């Protein structure tokens, strides 16, 4: 490990480019968590058909509480297990500057301070929060060596920091502190017994809405109704456009006037919220091509348009 490598990697991250770095669990595919466009490139590179929320890596506890709502429980858990392989899901602060895309539109964020010398140096030097899922293509195994990352995503990243094999080798434990009671969403090397020493007995996942991969039900849904794949705009509707169009409405946004899907992904959650805030009864959305990251955009739009389940 050379300092110049870390400096270069930190600069890439600050510029919005992708850097893969080792953590004690698995290699991460990192991007500046403050930038919608940088975070969109993560989804694009991984080829995920959906927007799953991403873990934001921080250099210390103070940085975590810049973005997540403070609680004594969260602080105690950080003191006990950070740096280390415990990810905490906290409610987003009102003024949270993290991209809405890292939360996949939810009102909570996953935060972790990794325990790997290279990851810690990188976070320290870059001095920004870094969104990083495991650095594999969607549906593949998590990488535990730099070579794995090279094989999977070598052509997608500005740089891979090689820190040797990851000592833990399985992903971090994910503990949700955003609900009524703390709940493990993913098991890892920080065990339930270790956590319960601090929290007391944990709730069972079935007690609450499950937020884990593939089971995300508590998606952000606009108050407005949604009409997808529209060819016209009706009276009173707000328009969410994509690409060149002659359609207009008094309340409108364009996900990407030049028809760029990555830019559209970066704008999706903020523009949906903006149009929803106008009080329009319905948001009419132009067709989004079903290719590349367009699949994740369409998945998210379909969920936002689905009838709202009561209570969720």
**Residues in contact with ligand TXA by the rule CB under 6 A:** 23, 25-26, 28, 52-55, 85, 87, 89, 103, 106, 108-110, 112, 114, 132-134, 171-172, 174, 185-186, 211-213
Q: 3-state DSSP helix/strand/coil percent for the chain, to nearest 5?
A: 35, 20, 50
Q: Kindly state the smallest distance separating residue 92's Cβ from ligand TXA, in Å.
A: 8
> What is the secondary structure of 153-195 as a DSSP string?
HTTT-SEE----S-SS-SPPEEEE-SSSS-EEEE--SS-HHHH
Residue with tokens 């590179």: 45
Contact 238, 266 (CB under 8 A): no
Which entry of Mg ion, ligand TXA, none binds 89, CB below 5 to 8 A by partner kind?
ligand TXA
Least spacing, CB of residue 2 vs ligand TXA, in Å: 22
Least distance CB 139 / ligand TXA (angstroms): 11
Residue 108 binds: one of Mg ion, ligand TXA, none (C-beta under 5 to 8 A by kind): ligand TXA
Smaller CB distance to Mg ion: residue 130 or 288? 130
How many Cβ atoms are within 10 Å of 232's Cβ, its own excluded? 8
Distance of CA 53 to the CA centre of its chain: 4
Q: Tell me which of 35, 134, 218, 267 binds Mg ion, using CB under 5 A.
A: 134
Q: Which residues are bridge partners to 86 per DSSP?
A: 173
**Helix axes 72-81 and 192-199, enclosed angle (nearest 10):** 140
Q: Segment contacting Mg ion (CB under 5 A): 14-22, 87-95, 133-141, 234-242?
A: 133-141
Per partner kind, with CB cut-offs from 5 to 8 A, the member of Mg ion, ligand TXA, none near residue 83 is none
Closer residue to ligand TXA, CB minimum distance, 114 or 182: 114
Residue number, 134 or 218, with CB nearest to Mg ion: 134
**H/E segment holding residue 176:** strand 173-176
161 binds, among ligand TXA, Mg ion, none (CB under 5 to 8 A by kind): none
What is the bridge-based pairing of β-strands 19-22 and 108-112?
A: unpaired
């Amino acid at each position: 490990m050379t300092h110049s490598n870390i400096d270069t990697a930190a600069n890439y991250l600050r510029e919005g480019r992708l850097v893969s770095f080792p953590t004690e669990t698995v290699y991460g595919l990192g991007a500046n968590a403050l930038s919608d466009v940088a975070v969109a490139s993560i989804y694009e590179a991984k080829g995920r058909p959906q927007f799953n929320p991403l873990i934001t890596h921080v250099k210390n506890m103070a940085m975590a509480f810049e973005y997540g709502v403070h609680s004594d429980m969260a602080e105690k858990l950080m003191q006990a297990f950070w740096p280390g392989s415990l990810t905490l899901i906290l409610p987003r602060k009102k003024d949270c500057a993290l991209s809405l895309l890292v939360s996949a539109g939810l009102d909570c964020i996953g935060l972790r301070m990794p325990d790997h010398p290279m990851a810690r140096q990188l976070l320290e030097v870059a001095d920004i929060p870094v969104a990083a899922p495991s650095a594999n293509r969607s549906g593949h195994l998590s990488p535990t060596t730099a070579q794995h990352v090279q094989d999977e995503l070598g052509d997608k990243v500005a740089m891979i920091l090689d820190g040797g094999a990851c000592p833990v080798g399985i992903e971090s434990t994910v503990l949700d502190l955003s609900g009524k009671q703390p709940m493990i969403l993913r098991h890892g090397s920080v065990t339930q017994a270790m956590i319960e020493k601090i929290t007391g007995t944990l709730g069972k996942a079935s007690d609450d809405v499950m937020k884990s991969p593939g089971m995300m039900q508590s998606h952000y849904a606009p108050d407005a109704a949604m009409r997808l794949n529209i060819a016209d705009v009706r009276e009173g509707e707000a328009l969410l456009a994509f690409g060149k169009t002659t359609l207009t409405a008094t309340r409108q946004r364009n996900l990407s006037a030049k028809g760029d899907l990555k830019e559209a992904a970066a704008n999706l959650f903020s523009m949906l919220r903006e149009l929803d805030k106008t009080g329009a009864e319905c948001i009419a959305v132009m067709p989004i091509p079903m290719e590349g990251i367009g699949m994740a955009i369409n998945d998210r739009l379909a969920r936002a348009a689905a009838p709202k389940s009561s209570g969720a």
